[in-house]
């Protein structure tokens, strides 16, 4: 059955969704299960000693062979060293995108008609062209790149949200962006403006705040378990993972226990939602103020918004919606799983790309992208020029060895070390 694919490669997790062509037209997007038991997979690449590449957190902690956080580094000409090899951020992102495409291909039995990958709202032509070229070089030609707020608005509109102008509050695992989008008849949603947090802030920072809170509740002997000894690193990794679980549990519960395995047996540290809110309230209040500033910079008044749409796993925290409702008029829209909103919106946007020319939207933001995609089926994208909007800062030249990739049937092996 023909299908299109939407991919959202975030700073910490990656999600995907497909829309299939049925007898009555394109069906609603369906989230793809990328992990063994989850719809998400960590945005992490690991190179083993024999050169095999896996996606997800490795079983053995080896920082020198792990790449993470590469999507947000696209545009930076300093490579990441993975397994002793320098790799550009866009090449690593392309590898992860290809892994998702191959994963879906194995399930669907045929290639996607079109792929849409979301990207941060702040990206300009320079970063988009870097990623386009990396995708083309790895073999992904039928890809369109669209801003995350645009595809998020597509997803919410498909769920019945009505309005023309929306604020988009995106809080992912490692970063935050505030944006404003507006609907124009015959064009679709367009990005009016965006801004990131003054200081980097995301769900991982919430986890770290909770880690510090839990450690402060332990006696000195237990605190030393995370700072000294050969097992300190593993113990801290386990504590972070447990705090992440509790943070997610507190989105619906008012109290949860952080459970630690120690030489004394299992130790439980109770945490309430009120305690977590107190830890993160200052940062969240600043993020809401950032959205208010973006609204003002777009020449709009707060009351002109038809609502605020939430994107990203960390946006599930009840305090986020509470602060937005207090600061801005209008409803706050959040999906059952805001972590997959961008991927689902990407699939909906991909449907627009493959629609007949008579019904395809004529969005000025889409036209350059679409022409590049159509040309890429025959020739590579044009060379990236550093004069195109905000390129990388001046630095001494860096010699980068291309990432050597194995054939796809051998390249993409295990997810998190599991078959």
pLDDT at 387: 44
pLDDT at 396 over 70: no
Residue 413 has pLDDT above 50, yes or no: no
Domains and CATH numbers, the chain: 3-159+339-415 (3.30.420.40), 203-275 (3.90.640.10)
DSSP secondary structure letters along 267-289 = EEEEEEHHHHHHHHHHHHHHHHH
pLDDT tens column, 275-284: 999 999 999 9
Alpha-helical segments (H) within 298-378: 318-327, 341-354, 367-376
Token pair for 237? 């990794």
Q: What is the mean pLDDT of residues 297-314?
A: 94
Q: Is 131 exposed, middle or buried (0-12, 13-18, 19+ CB in 10 A)?
A: buried
Query: What is the rounded average pLDDT of the residues 374-390?
Result: 49
What mean pLDDT value characterizes the chain? 83
Q: Is 279 exposed, middle or buried (CB count within 10 Å of its CB: 0-12, 13-18, 19+)?
A: middle
Quick one: pLDDT at residue 80?
86
Between CA 292 and CA 237 the distance in angstroms is 36
Secondary structure (DSSP) of 203-231: HHHHHHHHHHHHHHTS-HHHHHTTTSSTT
User: Which two three-digit tokens encode residue 180?
Assistant: 């404003």
Give the other-Cβ count within 10 Å of 198's Cβ.
11
Q: Mean pLDDT: which of 185-194, 343-352, 380-389, 396-405 is highest?
A: 343-352
Q: Is residue 384 scored above 60 in pLDDT?
A: no
Q: Under a CB-based contact definition with an 8 Å cutoff, are residues 47 and 208 in contact?
A: no
Give the pairing of strands 13-22 and 3-9. antiparallel
Specify which of 75-89, 132-146, 206-220 reaches the highest per-range mean pLDDT.
132-146
CA distance 326 to 284: 13
pLDDT-above-90 percentage for the chain: 56
Mean pLDDT of all residues in 182-199: 85
Instruction: Tell me the two tokens of residue 346.
Output: 């990407």
Query: Would you say residue 333 has pLDDT above 50?
Result: yes
CA neighbor of 391 nearest in space, from 192, 143, 71, 123: 123
Residues 6+ apart with CB under 8 A from 67: 44, 45, 46, 47, 80, 82, 87, 92
Q: Which pLDDT score, from 0 to 100, does residue 110 have? A: 95
Higher pLDDT, 396 or 106: 106
**pTM for the full predicted model:** 0.83
Query: Residue 235 — pLDDT band, cuts 50, 70, 90?
Result: confident
pLDDT at position 383: 58
Give the C-alpha separation, 80 to 192, whole Å: 33
Q: Residues of the chain with pLDDT > 70: what percent?
A: 81
pLDDT value at residue 293: 95
Q: H or E segment at 266?
A: strand 265-272
pLDDT score of 60: 60
pLDDT (tens digit per residue) in 283-296: 999 999 999 999 99
What is the C-alpha separation between 217 and 228, in angstroms, rounded? 18
Res. 408 pLDDT band, cuts 50 70 90: very low
**Choice among 86-90, 142-146, 222-226, 383-387 with the minimum mean pLDDT:** 383-387
Mean pLDDT, residues 171-197 taken together: 89
**What is the rounded distance in angstroms from the CA atom of residue 416 to the CA atom of residue 99?**
13
How many other β-carbons are positioned within 10 Å of the β-carbon of residue 194? 24
The pLDDT, as a whole number, for residue 255 is 96
- Supply the pLDDT for residue 224: 72
**Contact predicate 225/235, CB 8 Å:** yes
The number of C-alpha atoms within 13 Å of 269 and in the hemisphere containing its C-beta is 21
Q: Is 94 helix (H, G, I), strand (E, B) or coil?
A: helix
In total, the chain counts a number of residues equal to 419
Residues 6+ apart with CB under 8 A from 200: 174, 175
Residue with tokens 């919106």: 345
Is the pLDDT score of 418 beyond 50?
no
């Amino acid at each position: 059955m023909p299908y299109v694919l939407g991919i959202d490669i975030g700073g910490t997790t990656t999600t995907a969704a497909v829309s299939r062509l049925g007898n009555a037209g394109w069906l609603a997007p369906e989230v793809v299960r990328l992990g063994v038991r989850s719809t998400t997979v960590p945005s992490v690449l690991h190179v083993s000693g024999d050169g095999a590449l896996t996606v997800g957190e490795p079983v053995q902690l080896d920082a020198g062979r792990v790449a993470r956080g590469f999507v947000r580094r696209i545009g930076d000409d300093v490579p990441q060293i993975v397994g002793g090899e320098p790799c550009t951020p866009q090449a690593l992102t392309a590898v992860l995108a290809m892994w998702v495409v191959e994963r879906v291909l194995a399930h669907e039995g045929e290639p996607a008609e079109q792929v849409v990958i979301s990207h941060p709202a702040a990206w300009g032509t320079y970063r988009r062209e870097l990623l386009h070229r990396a995708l083309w070089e790895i073999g992904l030609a039928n890809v369109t790149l669209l801003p995350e707020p645009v595809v998020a608005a597509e997803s919410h509109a498909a769920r019945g949200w009505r309005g023309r102008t929306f604020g988009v509050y995106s809080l992912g695992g490692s970063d935050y962006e505030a944006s404003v989008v507006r609907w124009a008849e015959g064009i679709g949603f367009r990005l009016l403006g965006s801004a990131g947090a003054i200081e980097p802030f995301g769900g991982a920072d919430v986890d770290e705040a909770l880690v510090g809170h839990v450690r402060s509740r332990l006696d000195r002997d237990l605190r030393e378990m995370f700072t000294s000894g050969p097992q300190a690193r593993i113990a801290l990794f386990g504590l972070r993972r447990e705090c992440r679980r509790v943070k997610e549990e507190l989105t619906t519960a008012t109290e949860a226990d952080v459970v630690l395995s120690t030489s004394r047996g299992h130790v439980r540290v109770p945490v309430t939602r009120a305690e977590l809110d107190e830890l993160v309230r200052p940062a969240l209040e600043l993020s809401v103020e950032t959205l208010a500033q973006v609204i003002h910079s777009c020449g709009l008044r707060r009351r002109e918004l038809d609502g605020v749409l939430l994107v990203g796993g960390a946006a599930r925290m009840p305090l986020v919606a509470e602060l937005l409702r207090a600061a801005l008029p209008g409803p706050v829209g959040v999906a059952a799983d805001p972590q997959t909103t961008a991927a689902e919106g990407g699939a909906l946007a991909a449907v627009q790309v493959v629609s007949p020319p008579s019904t395809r939207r004529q969005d000025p933001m889409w036209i350059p992208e679409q022409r590049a995609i159509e040309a890429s089926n025959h020739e590579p994208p044009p060379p990236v020029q550093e004069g195109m909007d905000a390129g990388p800062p001046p630095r001494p030249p860096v010699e980068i060895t291309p990432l050597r990739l194995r054939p796809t049937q051998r390249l993409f092996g295990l997810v998190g070390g599991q078959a």
